[in-house]
Structure 1
Amino acid sequence: MSDKLTYKDSGVDIHAGYETVRLIKDYVKKTYTKGVMSDIGGFGGMFGIDKNEYEEPVLVSGTDGVGTKLMIAFKTDVHDTIGEDAVAMCVNDVICQGAKPLFFLDYIATGKLDPRKAADIVKGVANGCIKAGAALIGGETAEMPGLYGEGEYDIAGFCVGIVDRKKIIDGSKIVEGDVLIGIPSSGFHSNGYSLVRKVFFDHKNYNADDYVEELGCTLGEALLTPTKIYPKLILDLISKFEIKGMSNITGGGFYENIPRMFPEGITADIETKNINVLPVFKLLQREGNVDIDEMYSTFNMGIGMVLAVSKDTKDDVMEYLKNQGEEPVVIGYTSRREGGLKICHN
């Protein structure tokens, strides 16, 4: 008689899954807000909405991943920030409609589950949820031998936010002459890493642990800087001022993302002279001999979120952001003309 086979013989260890749940339980519970109605381990995450808080509640959802930034985590064997990126990529989208993030779910897939590595990833997710004010109410860890290489994994996330219908920010009030204010990013965020990797590792043969004087840290540390999480700042801001539109500067850089908030017939003229381009962008451009327009069509260049406000509101919004420890800059003005976004590099 042939030997009996088990699921573990195929490469899937369900006990590693049990151990992962044990390790992440405390991280997850730290994210719980008053709306959470379920505990870790259920088939579905439940979240109750306070009906007295909203007149006409609208749910806003977003989903995203981290992209090839994951490959920097593989190179450095640092995994406790990548989950924060997954959260940021979702909550920074839903806040653009004025929606408060309510809850988040993650999905982690790997070839062979390492409970401690998975716990590090979820620790990052939990930290991101706390920064965003969202509860981590569910997730999935999938072990799929043969699909991923040794030590490799992928992570994606899903966020749901809420906003009163009358308070939705959809850009419809933007008119010619409105001011565009940029709020700084923390670095590359989670975009453009295919080009980042090609320049630094394929073209220039850097190692992730190389110390780079102008960055003040190793290259790997700079590239793994977590994506900045904006919702708490923005929610406070929109409770005090009229913000006509918002754009999260993700993949596609300025050229693709800023126009997404404009109504038909409105575009903008951008001047980059006020932007504090972070050293890591300057290093990449120089080492890769990347054209300036290519940089602005791929990366955030140091501006992670763009707000559209009226001229009358601009000074107050700028002062408020500065009082919150931010360094906002005016990056341009809206206009009514034919053609797309124009960027002037002075």
Structure 2
Amino acid sequence: MSFPAYRGDVSARTECDAAVVAPGPGLEALLRWVRPTFAYAGNARPTLEIGYFANVIPVAPGLGVAISTDGVGTKLLVAQAAARFDTVGIDCVAMNVNDVLCVGARPVALVDYVALEEPTPALLDALGRGLARGCELAGVSCPGGELAQVREMLRGARPGSAVDLVGTAIGTVALDRVIAGQDVRGGDVLIGLESAGLHSNGYTLARRVLLEQGGLALDDHVPELGCTLADELLRPTTIYVRPVLPLLEAGLPIRALAHLTGDGLFNLVRTVRAVGFDVERWPEVPPIFGLVQRLGRIADEEMYGTFNMGVGFALVVAREGVDRVSAMLADAGLRVHLLGHAVDDAERTIRFRPRRLIGRGGHFTRA
């Protein structure tokens, strides 16, 4: 039995077409072995190349399973230093279900991998509380996972506190409704949804700037943030599943979905079809980004290529669907921002007018 490809088959496209930045030699050394495994799966060959937010595996005629894996990263070092683990489980769920959503799939389940030095009841209770809350917000189950005590392999911010947290999420999607940006056209409208702050990316840079260069402590109350530094840095990643799923179920003309994580705005140009974006406006940037930029003396070029800068999720929508998409998102309680539009561009250029930046190949320069 063979399974039909989804509309706009992209099986012939190249790796770099789906990547924000071409893989370096280290990653390429791994990918040269991973890519050939697609051929081993027979009728279940993945429908996308490596590099998109999630991949889709045909599992039955007309039905695919979307799958993505991600972790919380060095945000966990903040949790360890602050001895607060009750929100990082939400981050683990969010980083995965948001990516699965980007191919038009409905997330249904997440399994976790927890590696730690010491499996104390207090630590596991806090991690479990966050995972459960994340699953509730995303409407998914956590049907299993793995707990590994590997004290010889991990070193944390405090003795005995080391933990790594990774998840893998799956979702379901009709093969003829996979969204990977294959239908994006010049003039399609870019809609942005606000982030809650740093989310779960850029923490290596943020920690160095705030804690080392800036000399701040996690329990310091920072007036421009209106809270302690720990409260801000441990603010959980927003989960966008519940407000976005009804748009997909309504069959609205959504051409692409993007989760803005590491690589900042360059996540927009992962689309299968080569397009650029003309970003004409941007919402007010949350104070945490201004603080990092000021204390670290970081140029706009690096900030907008590293952090989400206040927009955590984006949709590319055909013009005829913009009013209804915006209204449904607003009804769901979200602030909706019309940021600009797609441009037919083989070089995938991002023109970011609010800061007069031009982005290509994963790097911004001044216009």
Deviation above 3 Å: which 4+ runs of structure 1? Answer: none
**Residue 94 in structure 1 maps to residue 94 in structure 2:** no
C-alpha deviation, 1:173, in angstroms: 1.4
CA distance in 2, matches of 1:173, 1:135: 32
> Following the alignment from structure 2 to structure 1, what is the Cα–Cα distance between the partners of residues 104 and 312?
16
Q: Deviations over 1:260-316 (max 9, x none)?
A: 12513x211123x33221111111111111111211100001101110011222122
Work out whether residues 80 and 120 of structure 1, in 8 Å CA contact, stay in contact via their aligned partners in 2: yes
2:336 aligns to what? 328
Q: Partner of 2:139 in structure 1?
A: 133
Aligned to 1:251: 262
- Using the alignment, how far apart are the partners of 2:183 and 2:344 within structure 1? 13
Q: 1:131, 1:85 → 2: CA distance?
A: 11
Task: Give the structure 2 partner of residue 72 of structure 1.
Answer: 78
SS in 2 for 1:205: coil
From 185, 198, 201, the counterpart of 2:208: 198
Alignment-mate amino acid for residue 296 of structure 1: Y
Determine which of 172, 175, 193 is the counterpart of 1:165. 175
Structure 2 SS opposite 1:333: strand
- Alignment correspondent of 1:43: none
Residue equivalent to 2:351: 342
The CA deviation string for residues 234-282 of structure 1, in whole angstroms up to 9 with x for no partner, is 1112222221110100111002x00012513x211123x3322111111
Classify the secondary structure of the residue corresponding to 2:237. coil
Aligned to 1:229: 239
Amino acid in the other structure paired with 1:127: R
Matched ranges for 1:105-116 at <5 A? 105-116=111-122
**Quick one: distance in 1 between partners of 2:272 and 2:186?**
10
Structure 2 CA distance, aligned partners of 1:166 and 1:310? 18
C-alpha separation between the residues in 1 aligned to 2:198 and 2:210?
14
What residue in structure 2 maps to residue 286 of structure 1? 294
**2:316 aligned partner:** 308
Q: Distance between the aligned counterparts of 1:253 and 1:234, measured in 2?
A: 20
Look up the match of 1:45: none
Q: Alpha-carbon deviation of 1:226? A: 0.3
- Equivalent residues of 1:182, 1:331 under 8 A apart: yes
Q: 1:62 aligns with which of 68, 72, 77?
A: 68
Tell me, in whole angstroms, the C-alpha distance in 1 between the residues paired with 2:62 and 2:227. Answer: 48
Residue 275 of structure 2 is aligned to residue 269 of structure 1 = no
SS at match of 1:331: strand
C-alpha contact 1:83 1:123 (8 A) present in aligned 2? yes
Cα pair 1:55 1:164 within 8 Å, conserved: no
Q: Which runs of 5+ in 2 are unaligned?
A: 1-58, 356-367
Q: Partner letter of residue 311 of structure 1?
A: R
SS at match of 2:118: coil
2:254 aligned counterpart, secondary structure: coil
**Partners in 2 of 1:274 and 1:317 — Cα distance?**
18
Work out whether residues 322 and 328 of structure 1, in 8 Å CA contact, stay in contact via their aligned partners in 2: yes
Q: Distance in 2 between matches of 1:233 and 1:317?
A: 10
Separation of aligned partners in 1, 2:66 and 2:199: 22
| Separation (CA, whole Å) in 2 of partners of 1:274 and 1:250 | 17
Greater Cα shift, 312-321 or 292-301: 312-321
Larger radius of gyration: 1
Q: Deviations over 1:94-139 (max 9, x none)?
A: 0001111111111111122212211210111111011111110001
Query: Once the two structures are aligned, what percentage of the paired residues are identical?
Result: 37
CA shift at 1:338, angstroms?
A: 4.5
Whether 1:212 aligns to 2:218 is no
Structure 1 counterpart of 2:35: none
Name the aligned partner's letter for residue 56 of structure 1: G
Instruction: Give the Å deviation of 1:190.
Output: 0.3
Number of residues paired by the alignment? Answer: 291
Amino acid in structure 2 at the alignment position of 1:259: V
Does 1:103 find its partner at 2:103?
Answer: no
